[in-house]
Structure 1
Amino acid sequence: MKTTDGAALPPVPVTRQGLLRVGLHVLLAALPLLAISAHVFGLITMNWSAALLVIPLATTIIALSMFDPHPEDRVILHGFVWGIIACALYDVFRLDTVYMLGWWADFIPTMGTWIVGNGASTSAGAWVGYLWRYLGDGGGIGVTFFVGAAFLGLHKRPASVVVAASVGFAVFPVWAGLIGTVWLAPRGQTMMFPLTPTTITLSLIGHLIFGLIMGLGFVRTRAAHRWWPWTPVVDWFSPAEARAERTLRVAHPSTSGMSFGRPAERPRADTGPRPVVAAAEPQPARERPHVVPPPPLPAGHPSAPIPRQHPSGPVPVATGSGSSTGSQPTTGAHPSGPGPTTGSHPRTGSGPVPVAAAARSAATGSSTGSHPRTGPTRTDPTRTDPSSGTGSTTLDPETWALWQRQLATTVKGRRTHRWR
């Protein structure tokens, strides 16, 4: 059950205050029909009953619903609306037989003059009479049926059962009360309509239509009964469901007073603390296979890694004979700039790294100047070293051509060699 502000609350038992509040709604719903019977029997005129009972009570209930709303007001409002809709569809059939076919007379305008007073015109009586019929009779019957169905728990029954109950309520006591008033009152047939097979049949068909529409409206809005604060007074459960409910109430006394629906709506029985499942034992970590790295490739091999250049200074270039060059420092401070020089000759070109010279220099442990040899520089195979008179190439033509092709096809930002 939920309150009007959406907060979830458990159902509560029926209380005197709650019954008084709902009793006011049912009394107001029944007064319009009872006022007609009282007027026809001569007990009290509708002018007095409307002025002293119906209008003051309706004003009080409207004020209570606005300033002190209760959860059951939503169900009552649905009943009021669907009662008006059912009465309107009933009048589609009735007015067709009255004004189109002329099978019986329309006594609603005459009833309107009873409310306004004897000196009222027929047109004023028609407006007041139909307003009384829709809001009082139709809406009142709808409220009475919806409240009774909520107390009986019909919202938990199938749609066919609900519609059958609604049609039965429209026939008895509503239609039976109308026919009884017309038949038993001394001036009933004179003031309302004569009892003939035609009028009895037409009035019965109209009430069947009214009950059908009201029952379908109840089925359509049965979800509104989740706001009904009380448990049904009739147990519609099967014996097995009743035993399960009693077992749950004994095991969990806190659920006393709660409403248990059918299996799809009933709360779970395992509402207590759930047992804690022990955590699974940790599995031992699997040992990774030992990978033996391949042996290093010999220096000068095309697939061997290129030795890195020194990142922070110039790197000397080895001569063709693999000897070091005195203590003269080399020039060319950055690896990406012009290459370093050998001796006193500046280096102006750039080319591939002399892998063979780097290997020989690393083997002999020679260095250039006072800086250790950290990596070779690339040389041009077409350049010649003036100091030695021989070419400073360190790569054979095939390797040089392979490097040139790879450098030309390398995408910027990728590695230079595909085998790396």
Structure 2
Amino acid sequence: MAATPVTTAGLARVGLHVLLAALPLLAISAHVFGLIRMNWSAALLVIPLATSIVALSLFAPHPEDRVILHGFVWGIVACALYDVFRLDTVYMLGWWADFIPTMGTWIVGDASSHTAGAWVGYLWRYLGDGGGIGVTFFVGAAFLGLHHRPARQVVAASVAFAVFPVWAGLIATVWLAPRGQTMMFPLTPVTLTLSLIGHLIFGLIMGLGFVRTRSAHRYWPWTPVVGWFAAPTPDRESPVLEAPAEPTVRVARGPSRPAAPAPAPPVTSERPVVVPPPPLPAGHPSAPFPRQHLSGPMPVARATGSQPAVARTGSQPVAAPATGSQPVSAPRTGSHAVAGASTGSHALSGPSTGSTRTASATTTGSHRTATASARPSTPAEGTTLDPETWALWQRQLATTVKGRRTHRWR
């Protein structure tokens, strides 16, 4: 919100707040001096003006009402903490008398009603005296621009305000009024010291409250009246000591060279992309066998002795060599038969089901059975694979990450 110059209407509105804040203290002094009785000033001045200002703030609020409300609340808090010290010296130590209930009887107009006087007197003290002093200080500080000053200066100004004119005005009333010491309290070194300490506590708490809520002063609509209280400029701040500049050393350099381009960051991917190899041409030694029709059997040629058995699949022969006297099984697809050749007179051929193919051979004399897995890890040397196994290995090689030493079946 931009600050604007002080206007007459604004001064009149704030003046009503300050007048209401000062009336409770002035009413006490006027009663002690005998100018106007306190029950009359309370009934004719304080209560009607307070009601009007509360209604004005509720139905026609203004930005400065926020600052005034903060001052009212912090004045009550400071007065309560002041009374913690004062009541301790009154009712526990007995160093001086409590004149607040007596002041309450002045307001109610009945000197014999001490209970009602105590209630009304302390209500007047907190809402009228404490809240009124807080409003007066906050408004004056906002007009002077204290919210732009450091916290120490604000607290010092608040303590000074609590001593003069607040404490000084109280002591002047007690000392100058004809019946001041009789109606309030006698002036002794003890009472002077205790009352001064109490007002120092009051000023300290009120100053700390102002520092805590100084952000509310951004709602204050006017610029500070006194210019030397405005926001500090760099000229008013403490000088900043700068380190002396080091002597400059000039170094002769050769012709400038263009900077080498920064290397491009390596392109990394979370998962490698494997491109399958192109299909091999027909007739290539590593090309897959042409798929045969599964409805008919595969012709098998049997061999005896040491001659290998040859089985023809399509137009390409498949040789299943026999080493020594061990049987050799040739894998087949579907329902094709498998021929096993052995050295001897007994040879057994067994069917293979699904993906597991087993060939059983019986040797002469001991009838020992050998079982071989249909999916060997590596093909036997010199053996040509059937189409299904060859296609399976091709898919395995195409989907295996490069750099692996072994290939696992998926």
Q: What is the TM-score normalised by the length of structure 1?
A: 0.62
Offset, 1:94 = 0.4
* Whole-angstrom distance in 2 between the partners of 1:395 and 1:99: 124
Aligned with residue 92 of structure 1, among 68, 84, 89: 84
Equivalent residue number for residue 322 of structure 1: none
- CA displacement, residues 160-217 of structure 1 (integer Å, 9 cap, x when unaligned): 1111000000000000000000001111111111111111110000000000010111
Q: Tell which structure's C-alpha radius of gyration is larger.
A: 2
**Counterpart check, 1:58 vs 2:31:** no
Question: Once the 2 structures are TM-superposed, how far is the Cα of residue 113 of structure 1 from its aligned partner?
Answer: 0.5
Aligned to 1:16: 8
Is 1:174 aligned with 2:158?
no
Alpha carbons of structure 1 residues 359 and 196: separation in structure 2 relative to 1, 3 Å:
closer
| Distance change >3 Å, CA 304–CA 232, structure 1 → 2 | closer
Question: 385, 396, 399: which is aligned to 1:400?
Answer: 385
CA RMSD of aligned residues (A): 3.3
- 2:136 — aligned with what? 144
Give the match for residue 130 of structure 1: 122
Greater CA drift, 203-212 or 69-78: 69-78
Given that 1:89 and 1:210 are in contact with CA atoms closer than 8 Å, whether structure 2 keeps it comes out as yes
Aligned to 2:282: 355
Map residues 239-388 of structure 1 onto 2, 5 A cutoff.
240=234, 305-306=278-279, 355-356=282-283, 378-379=291-292, 383=298
CA distance in structure 2 between the aligned counterparts of 1:402 and 1:189, rounded to whole angstroms:
124
Q: Deviations over 1:244-272 (max 9, x none)?
A: xxxxxxxxxxxxxxxxxxxxxxxxxxxxx
Counterpart residue type for residue 314 of structure 2: S
2: CA distance, partners of 1:65 / 1:23: 14
Partner of 1:47: 39
Instruction: Say yes or no: does 1:25 pair with 2:10.
Output: no
In structure 2, the CA distance between the partners of 1:119 and 1:179, relative to structure 1 (3 Å rule), is closer
**Distance in 2 (alpha carbons) for counterparts of 1:392 and 1:304:** 26
What is the letter of the counterpart of residue 53 of structure 2? Answer: I
Q: Give the Å deviation of 1:399.
A: 6.2
Aligned amino acid, residue 38 of structure 1 = A
Amino acid at match of 1:407: L
Give, in angstroms, the shift of residue 118 of structure 1.
2.8
Return closer, same or farther for 1:404/1:230 CA change in 2, 3 Å cut-off.
same
1:141/1:405 CA distance change after superposition, 3 Å: farther
Give distance in 2, aligned partners of 1:109 and 1:74: 32
Shift of 1:400: 3.1
- Whole-angstrom CA distance in 2 between matches of 1:399 and 1:178: 120
In 2, distance between residues paired with 1:395 and 1:175? 124
Is the contact made by 1:380 and 1:392 (CA closer than 8 Å) also made in structure 2? no
8 Å CA contact retained: 1:11, 1:230: yes
SS at match of 1:356: coil
Q: Is the 8 A contact 2:149 2:232 kept in 1?
A: no
Question: C-alpha separation between the residues in 2 aligned to 1:416 and 1:355?
Answer: 23
8 Å Cα contact 1:379/1:393 also seen in 2: no
Pick the aligned partner of 1:231 from 218, 223, 226: 223
1:306 alignment partner AA:
P
Checking the alignment, whether the CA contact within 8 Å between 2:148 and 2:232 is kept in structure 1 is: no
For residues 166 and 356 of structure 1, do their structure 2 counterparts lie closer, same or farther at Cα, with a shift above 3 Å needed? same
SS of alignment partner, residue 385 of structure 2: helix
The one of 108, 113, 116 equivalent to 1:116 is 108
Q: Distance in 2 between matches of 1:399 and 1:149?
A: 104
Q: Provide the secondary structure at the position in 2 that maps to 1:230.
A: coil
Deviation at residue 11 of structure 1 after TM alignment: 1.7
What is the CA distance between 1:12 and its match in structure 2? 1.6
Residues 282-334 of structure 1: CA deviation (Å, up to 9, x unaligned): xxxxxxxxxxxxxxxxxxxxx96227xxxxxxxxxxxxxxxxxxxxxxxxxxx
Contact 1:356 1:394 (C-alpha < 8 Å) held by counterparts: no
1:63 CA displacement: 0.6
Contact 1:383–1:393 (CA under 8 A) maintained in structure 2: no
What CA distance in whole angstroms lies between the structure 2 residues aligned with 1:384 and 1:19? 120
Partner residue of 1:203 out of 191, 195, 199: 195
Inter-partner Cα distance in structure 2 for 1:67 and 1:160: 37
Name the CA distance, whole Å, in 2 between partners of 1:42 and 1:75.
35
Distance 2:282 2:277 in 1: 10
The structure-2 alpha-carbon separation of the partners of 1:170 and 1:405, relative to structure 1 and needing over 3 Å to count, comes to farther
Query: Is the Cα contact below 8 Å between 2:149 and 2:231 reproduced in 1?
Result: no
Change (3 A) 1:99 1:395: farther
Cα deviation digits, residues 336-365 of structure 1 (max 9, x gap): xxxxxxxxxxxxxxxxxx9328999xxxxx
2:376 counterpart of 1:391? no
Aligned sequence identity (%): 72
Instruction: Verify the 8 A CA contact 1:152 1:233 in the aligned structure 2.
Output: yes
Of residues 399-408 and 38-47 in structure 1, the stretch that sits farther from structure 2 once superposed is 399-408
Distance 2:195 2:170 in 1: 9
Amino acid at match of 2:218: R
Shift of 1:232: 1.3
Long gaps (5+) in structure 2: 237-275, 301-310, 319-381, 403-410
Structure with the larger helix share: 1
Q: CA deviation at 1:391?
A: 3.3
Number of aligned residues: 286
Calculate the TM-score normalised by the size of structure 2: 0.63
With over 3 angstroms needed to count, the CA separation of the structure-2 counterparts of 1:355 and 1:142, relative to structure 1, is same
